[in-house]
């Protein structure tokens, strides 16, 4: 009975957000869950972190991804694999309607409002905007290796946390 439950748990897909990590060929994914407190009979937020096998680097920091447990652990830490990127960071899509969102409004509502009142020069056009990653190496350093700075050296490393 317990073995069937463990086998079923491996087949589940988990939805999480990619966070910075120092591991090579792996992504650190934060999965948000609710944990029941038996005494209060209330649910509280709990974050679980999983290291996922990602040799092709398909996910970047901030992306929402689907992960699945590996049949056998690759290492002591790497227990899951990245299946796909559901929502890339910065390109927010409403999961119910499938429409693109800017802040708290749908993009098509914003476009309809600009047509109604006239387009200003300062209005941002989402259709002409370049995709995420066009500033990689200039202002977007999510592809660079990050690590925690424990010592202060003479030369300053911009990729240290």
3-class secondary structure for the chain? Answer: CHHHHHHHHHHCEEEEEEECCCCCCEEEEEEEEEEEECCCCEEEEEEEEEEEECCCCCCCCCCEEEEEECCCCCCCCEEEEEEEEEECCCCCECCCCCCEEECCEEHHHHHHHHHHHCCCCCCCCCCCCCCCCCCECCCECCCCCCECCCCCCCCCCCCEC
pLDDT digit string (tens) for 66-112? Answer: 999 999 999 999 999 999 999 888 777 888 998 988 888 998 998 88
Assign domain 12-87 one CATH number from 3.40.50.300, 2.40.50.140, 3.20.20.150, 3.40.640.10.
Answer: 2.40.50.140
Asked if the model's pLDDT at residue 1 lies above 50, the reply is no
Residue boundaries of the structural domains of the chain: 12-87, 92-124
pLDDT band, residue 5 (cuts 50/70/90): very low
pLDDT digit string (tens) for 19-70? Answer: 988 888 899 999 999 999 999 999 999 999 999 999 888 988 889 999 999 9
Give the global pTM: 0.69
């Amino acid at each position: 009975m317990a073995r069937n439950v463990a086998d079923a748990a491996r087949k589940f897909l988990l939805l999480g957000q990619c966070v910075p990590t120092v591991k090579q060929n792996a992504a650190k994914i934060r999965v948000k869950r609710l944990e029941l407190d038996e005494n209060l009979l209330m649910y509280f937020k709990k974050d679980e972190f999983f290291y996922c096998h990602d040799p092709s680097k398909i996910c970047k920091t901030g992306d929402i991804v689907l992960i699945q447990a590996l049949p056998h652990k690759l290492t002591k830490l790497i227990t899951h694999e990245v299946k796909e990127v559901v929502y890339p960071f910065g390109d927010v899509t409403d999961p119910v309607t499938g429409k693109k969102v800017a802040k708290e409004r749908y993009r098509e509502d914003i476009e309809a409002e600009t047509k109604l009142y006239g387009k200003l020069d300062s209005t941002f056009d989402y259709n002409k905007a370049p995709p995420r990653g066009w500033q990689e190496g200039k202002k977007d350093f999510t592809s660079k290796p990050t690590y925690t700075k424990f010592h202060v050296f003479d030369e300053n490393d911009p990729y240290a946390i």
